[in-house]
Structure 1
Amino acid sequence: MQTVELITKKRDGGKFSSEEISWLIENYTHGNIPDYQMAALLMAIYLRGMDERETSDLTLAMARSGEQLRVNTQISPVVDKHSTGGVGDKVTLAVAPLVAACGVAVGKMTGRGLGHTGGTVDKLESVDGFHVELSREDFMRILHDHQIVLAGQSAELAPADGKLYALRDVTGTIESIPLIASSIMSKKLAVGASHLLLDVKFGSGAFMKTIEQARQLAQAMVDIGRAAGLHTVAAITSMEQPLGRAIGNAIELAEAIDILRGNGPADVSELCYHEAAELLLMTGKAANQAEADQMVAQAIQSGAAVKKLTEVIAAQGGNPQQIERPELLPHAPIRVMLTAPQTGYIAAINAEGLGLASMSLAQAASKKVSLLIIVPA
C-alpha cells in the first residue's frame, strides 16, 4: 500500500477497508508514515468522515497498537468514566475517587488538554511528584492495592492514539466524530474495564456545539463499546457555560477536593454525585437510585472520598499534603480582579471564550495563570 494513495482515496470520499486501516495505524505507530502525511489524512477524514465500520476498525487498530491490560479479567467489576472535555470540567477528578471510596475499582487512563479544554492529566500534575506515566506492572499493582489508578497516556497502551492525539491538536482536526470516538474508545478498550460511563458534552465550551452532534458522538462510542463487550452508557450534559467556578489546572483540582468534602459549587457537585451514583447502579453495587445516592452521600460525609483521592495521589508519587491542604497547590504569580463596570445580573458566560482566554494567559505567564469565576449563588 502507498500512504498517498490512501490519502487521495479518503479525500475523494472513498471508504477504507479494514486491512487499509490496520496498515495505516501499524505503520504510523512504527514511524514509517511521517507526520505530514498523517496530518493530511486526518484532514481528509475530518472533511469526508468515516462510517460506523471504519470508525470501529480504526478504534480496534489503535487499541491493538500496544499492550492491552484486560483489567476486567483480574478485577471485576472495574469501571472507567470519561468526559469529552469542557471548560472547568473537573468531574473525573471527583467521580473516580468517590466511586472507589464506595467499593468499586476504578482503572482510568486519561488524557491531556485538547484545544481549549483542560485535561485531567494536566490537573493531576499540579501535585508535586505525581506520576501519570505508569508501566503495566505499576498500573496493575496500584489498582490492586488501592482500587483506583489515574494514569496518563503511555508508550505501551494505545501508542497510536497518543501520536494521533497530539497531531490532531495542532492540525485543526479535533472536532471530528470518528476521530474523537476512536481516540476515546481505543484507550478504554486497551485498559479493558468492565463498565464505562461516558459524559458527552455539548455547547459553547465543548467540541460538539449542538445536542444533535453530541448524540451522534455518544451513539458512535456506545456502539463501539457494546460491539467490544464493554458495558457502555453515555450521558449528554451541557457545556454552555463553565462547570463550577474555577478554570485552570491547580484551582480545578482544589475545587474537586471541595466537591469531595461536600463544599463544592452546586452545579458541578450535583453532576459528580449523579455520575458516581450511575456507576454504582451500572455495576450492581447499588440496587436502586436511593441506595446509590445514600452510598455517595456517606462517602462524602465520612471523609472516605477525599481520603481515597489522597491515597491514590500518594500511591503515584504525589505529595498527599497538597490534597489535605489545597492551599499548598501551585498558584498564579499574577492575580488581577476584574470588576464589572455596573451592577446587574449574569445572564450567560461564554465558556469557549473563557477557555481560550485561560490558554492565552497561561502562554503569556509560563502556564501559571488560571481563572477563577465568581458567580453569585
Structure 2
Amino acid sequence: MILPQEIIRAKRDGELLSAGEIGDFIAGLTSGAVTEGQAAAFAMAIFFRGMTLEERVALTRAMTRSGASLDWREDNLPGPILDKHSTGGVGDNVSLMLAPMLAACGAYVPMISGRSLGHTGGTLDKLDSIPGYVSQPDLALFKRVVKEAGCAIIGQTAELAPADRRLYAIRDVTATVESVALITASILSKKLAAGLQGLVMDVKTGSGAFMPTLNGARELAESIAAVATDAGLPTISLITDMNEPLASAAGNAVEVRNAVDYLTGAKRDPRLDRVTMALGAELLALSGLAPDALAGEAALKRALESGAAAERFERMVAGLGGPKDFVARAHDLLPRAPVLVDATPEGHGFVEEIDVRAVGLAVVELGGGRARAADAIDPAVGLTELAPIGAEVGPDRPLARVHARDVAEAEAAANRLRAAYRLGAAPLTPDDPVIERISGSA
C-alpha cells in the first residue's frame, strides 16, 4: 500500500493518480488508517488541482466499494432500478412526486436523499414532518418497501458509501465542498451503491442554487453525466433554473402538502410541473420504459390522472411507518404553525426579480432549515403562496403567506421577503425552467 502522504504529494504537484492509488487512499479513509489531516489535505489538493475523467471514475468507484452495495438481481423485479437527484434549491419538492410517478410507470426507485443545510431544503426533513415516517430504516426494510410500493425515499445509511460520509464531513469544514470532482464522487458513490440502472440529474443554476452561474452548473452536469456513464450508470443531466422558488411553498410540512396537492390534482404549480415532467420523461426514455421523452411525459400524466402515482406515494408512506390513509388526510395530519401573516409589498407592481437565497434563509430563520448540521427543524413553519416572477402583487396581493411560531418571527420573515423581491411596472414572461440537457454518452 502506498503511503497516504505520497498520494497527497502527487496530487498536490499536479500528477495523475492511478486507480490503485485512489483506491488505497479511500480504503485507508474507511478503515481509519488515513487521518483527518491527511483527508483534508487530499481534498484541498483535489480542489486546487482537479481530476481527470479517469481519476473521477476511480474515486467514485472506490467510494462506492467502501461499503455495502444493493444488488436487486436476486429480487427479480419486473422493471428497471431508477433514481433522480437534485443539487437542491428552494421549494424543490420534486422527489416527493417523481418517485411515486416513476413507480406507477413500472420503475423501482430506491431514492437516497439528504437533509437541509444552509438556504436549501432537504427531502428527508420534509418527509420527517409525516407522523411515524421512518426516514432512515435498515436496508432490509428499505428493500422491502421498494419492492412493495415501487419506491422508497430514505436517508443515507451507515452501510452505503461510508467513505463519502467521512470525506464530506471533512470537506464541509475545510472549504472544499465546491470541488466538482468531489461533488461528483460524493453524489455518484451513493447512487452506484444503491444498485441503479438509470439516473437523471437535476443541476440547479441561479440565485438560489449551489452553482449560481450557468458555466459552473454546466461543468457539474457534464462531470456527473460523464462519470456516471463511464462507471456503468447511464445518466442524463438537466440544468434547471433556480432564479425563483420552484414550488409556491417552501418549508417542510407545507411542501409535503404541496406535493400531495400535485399528486391528487388539487393544485400543480406550472414551473414545478414542467421540471418534474422533464426529469421523469428523460428517465423513462433512458430506461426503455418509454420509446422517447414525449411518450414518457404522456405516461407520467396518465399515472397522475389515474391516481396510480398518489396510491404509490401512500403505499410508500405506510410501508415506512406513516399513516395508511395519508393522502386523504394529509392536510389534517401534517403539523401547522399557529401564526399566519401575509407578506405584502410596499407598493404595487409585477415581480421582476427574486433573491431566492434570501427566501430560503427566511425559512431557515423561521426554524424550517439549518444553519448547522446539528440544528433542530420545526416542520410546521415555512412559506406558501409565493408569488412567481411575472405575478402582479400589491396590498391585496401578497408576496407570500408566512407560517410562523410567533408574530415577531413572522414579521421578520415578511421583511426579509420584501427585501428579496424586486418589482417592476410591467409583467414579464417567465422563461422555461429547463435550460439545457446533457447526455453522458455524448
Q: Same fold (TM over 0.5)?
A: yes
- Kindly state the Cα deviation for residue 6 of structure 1 after the two structures are TM-superposed: 4.2
| CA distance in structure 2 between the aligned counterparts of 1:196 and 1:345, rounded to whole angstroms | 38
Higher helix share: 1
- Kindly state the Cα deviation for residue 273 of structure 1 after the two structures are TM-superposed: 2.1
1:285 equivalent to 2:289? Answer yes
Query: What are the residue-to-residue correspondences of 1:245-284 with 2, within 5 Å?
Result: 245-262=248-265, 263-284=267-288
- Give per-residue Cα distances to partners, 1:305-357, cap 9 Å, x unaligned: 11111110110112344443232212345544322111111101111222233
Partner residue in 2 for 1:228:
231
Question: Quick one: which of 211, 219, 225 aligns to 1:208?
Answer: 211
Contact kept, 8 Å, 2:26 with 2:163, in 1: the verdict is yes
Partner residue in 2 for 1:33:
34
For structure 1, which segment, 110-119 or 88-97, has the greater mean C-alpha deviation from structure 2 after superposition? 110-119
1:167 equivalent to 2:170? Answer yes
Instruction: Give the structure-2-normalised TM-score.
Output: 0.78
Partner residue in 1 for 2:149:
146
State the Cα RMSD in Å.
2.4
How many residues are matched? 377
Contact kept, 8 Å, 1:131 with 1:316, in 2: the verdict is yes
- Kindly state the Cα deviation for residue 290 of structure 1 after the two structures are TM-superposed: 4.7
| CA distance in structure 2 between the aligned counterparts of 1:242 and 1:191, rounded to whole angstroms | 29
Partner residue in 2 for 1:45:
46
| Alignment CA distance shift 1:26-1:290 (3 Å) | closer
| Alignment CA distance shift 1:154-1:289 (3 Å) | closer
| CA distance in structure 2 between the aligned counterparts of 1:357 and 1:111, rounded to whole angstroms | 20
| CA distance in structure 1 between the aligned counterparts of 2:70 and 2:183, rounded to whole angstroms | 22
Question: 3-state DSSP class of the match of 2:168?
Answer: helix
| Alignment CA distance shift 1:118-1:165 (3 Å) | farther
Contact kept, 8 Å, 1:107 with 1:143, in 2: the verdict is yes
| CA distance in structure 2 between the aligned counterparts of 1:36 and 1:332, rounded to whole angstroms | 44
- Kindly state the Cα deviation for residue 289 of structure 1 after the two structures are TM-superposed: 4.5
Partner residue in 2 for 1:341:
346
- Give per-residue Cα distances to partners, 1:222-257, cap 9 Å, x unaligned: 222222222211111111221111121221222111
Question: 3-state DSSP class of the match of 1:346?
Answer: strand
- Give per-residue Cα distances to partners, 1:192-221, cap 9 Å, x unaligned: 111111111112211222222222212211
Choose 1 or 2 for highest CA Rg. Answer: 2
Amino acid at match of 1:63: T
Instruction: Give the structure-1-normalised TM-score.
Output: 0.91
Higher strand share: 2
| CA distance in structure 2 between the aligned counterparts of 1:197 and 1:361, rounded to whole angstroms | 32
1:374 equivalent to 2:386? Answer yes
1:244 equivalent to 2:244? Answer no
Q: Can you give the 5+ residue segments of structure 1 that lack an aligned partner in the other structure?
A: none
Question: 3-state DSSP class of the match of 1:172?
Answer: coil
Query: What are the residue-to-residue correspondences of 1:71-220 with 2, within 5 Å?
Result: 71=72, 74-75=76-77, 76-220=79-223
- Give per-residue Cα distances to partners, 1:134-176, cap 9 Å, x unaligned: 3332222222222212221011111111223333334432222
Amino acid at match of 1:231: P
Q: Can you give the 5+ residue segments of structure 2 that lack an aligned partner in the other structure?
A: 393-442
- Kindly state the Cα deviation for residue 23 of structure 1 after the two structures are TM-superposed: 2.3
Amino acid at match of 1:59: T
